[in-house]
Structure 1
Amino acid sequence: MIAGDRKTGCLLLHGFTGSPFEVEPLSAYLQQKTAWKISVPLLPGHGEGATLKGIKHSEWIKTAEDALMQLLSECEEVYVIGFSMGGIIACYLAAKYEVSKLILLSAAALYVNPKQIAADSLDLVKAALRGRLKDHELYIRYKTKITKTPISAVWQFRTLVKAHRTIFNEIKIPALIAQGGLDGIVPPRSAEYIFHSIPSNKKSLLWMDESKHLICHCKQKNRLFEEIYKFLTES
């Protein structure tokens, strides 16, 4: 069943060093299930062949802001979904503009989960010993990011998170926070921190116990997408 019409818009924001690929399974799901206008902008310095060198975090915000303004000019109701760093930008937009609902996926209010990184590192070592390192999902996804991300870009990311850490206190709209229990980048306590910081009367925290950071690509993604669809379409 197709829900809604083109008068509803949905903005999806990817994470730091990522691309629309990170939320593509969700955007495809929503396009299949609805007739909404879907926008998934590529943030400056991101994507294949691009460089984050010299890019300011304000440029990421402006690009997301421009995409939201376009949706608001065309749609009667707009939802915002943010993954990882995109979650922080999504909160900024939701606090500043007339957004109807907010979804945060692995939102990076806090970052780096030492316990899970240790487990993932051990898994990488085992894969290397078996001669299968090049086929390991974690190695494939993060090798380029680790070796090619400028320190200045990491600083911009940290600056963005620090500058907007109190923005959660301004979220009054319905909010759904989803977090993977095996996330090695954003620790589970980040989701708990956001949940308790948001003063919205309608908020929920969805735990995906078997999911890692790329929550839209995890084996529990069907359940995640169903919960997101339900949240966005319920009155």
Structure 2
Amino acid sequence: MIGCLIIHGFTGAPKEVEDIQNHFAGESWLVYTPELPGHDGTRESMRDADYRAWVYKAQVALEELMKRCDEVYIIGFSMGGVIAGYLAARYPVDRLVLISSAVFYLNPKQIAEDLKGWFLEGIRGELDQNDIYRFYREKIRRTPVSAAVEFTKLVKKLRHALNDINVPTLIVQGEKDGLVPVRSAEYIYEHIRSEDKEIYFFEEAKHYIWYGSDKEAFLKKLDSFLKTPAGSENDDKRSRKRHDEDSAAETIHF
């Protein structure tokens, strides 16, 4: 049986990656998305946040999957991608997917564009109808400074593990992500040791790639990576690709 550990992001919850979980659960995989400590959606719970507890919860979940399954994959989103990379460096997992992984965070240029758009919507009286704006507004309201400090500690402590990742890895990034800049994905690609690695960009996507029009293509890309038998593609697996190149150009190999 295939086991799949999905790790959600900072201030998030299993629900935010529910589409991914349901997609692979339908394949008769054993899919588990643990709720990281303090991530029950309340500000009070996040006040006592400790990044070590987040890592430990994911680690225990991985160990349980490894006991029960023949193959184990890890999918990490945002902060969960940092944790996923750390675990993949320490445990003999079979494949790794890093989505919008926050090795670096905040993209000032894209944030400015988003704020400009929200400002114009506010003038037109349409801002409260913007689901993305309301989503992030609530996240900010329920996130104490102490929790944000724990997030930065986690990134600083675990980022070094990238150098020890030697497992087939897919890195997926939205180019209009205001929270995680493109350079984060580039950094991961350049620093992991695996020769079997791919970095894939969605040109119009933001942080939650699958929340928009790219959802189908995003899930298809994950399928392609996780369901393709090992060794069935070209020997040179190091590649970079954008979603809009799929039908018009070949993968660029390095």
- Return the TM-score normalized by structure 2: 0.88
Higher mean C-alpha deviation, range 143-152 or range 58-67: 143-152
- Once the 2 structures are TM-superposed, how far is the Cα of residue 227 of structure 1 from its aligned partner? 1.0
- Does residue 45 in structure 1 map to residue 38 in structure 2? yes
Structure 1 moving runs of 4+ over 4 Å: none
Summarize the alignment of residues 1-235 of structure 1 with structure 2, pairs less than 5 Å apart: 7-32=1-26, 34-49=27-42, 51-235=45-229
For the residues of structure 2 that align with 1:228 and 1:96, how far apart are their CA atoms?
23
For the residues of structure 1 that align with 2:181 and 2:16, how far apart are their CA atoms?
18
CA contact (8 A) 2:94 2:167 kept: yes
For the residues of structure 1 that align with 2:216 and 2:41, how far apart are their CA atoms?
27
Aligned length: 228
What is the letter of the counterpart of residue 36 of structure 1?
Answer: W
Matched residue SS, 1:52: helix
Q: Give the gaps of 5 or more residues in structure 1.
A: 1-6
Q: Give the gaps of 5 or more residues in structure 2.
A: 230-254
What is the letter of the counterpart of residue 223 of structure 2?
Answer: Y
Higher mean C-alpha deviation, range 104-113 or range 127-136: 127-136
Matched residue SS, 1:127: helix
For the residues of structure 1 that align with 2:60 and 2:209, how far apart are their CA atoms?
26
- Once the 2 structures are TM-superposed, how far is the Cα of residue 48 of structure 1 from its aligned partner? 2.9
- Return the TM-score normalized by structure 1: 0.94
For the residues of structure 1 that align with 2:118 and 2:15, how far apart are their CA atoms?
23
Partner residue of 2:251?
A: none
Matched residue SS, 2:199: strand
- Once the 2 structures are TM-superposed, how far is the Cα of residue 207 of structure 1 from its aligned partner? 0.3
CA contact (8 A) 2:41 2:142 kept: no
CA contact (8 A) 2:13 2:39 kept: yes
CA contact (8 A) 1:25 1:217 kept: no
For the residues of structure 1 that align with 2:55 and 2:86, how far apart are their CA atoms?
9
CA contact (8 A) 1:82 1:88 kept: yes
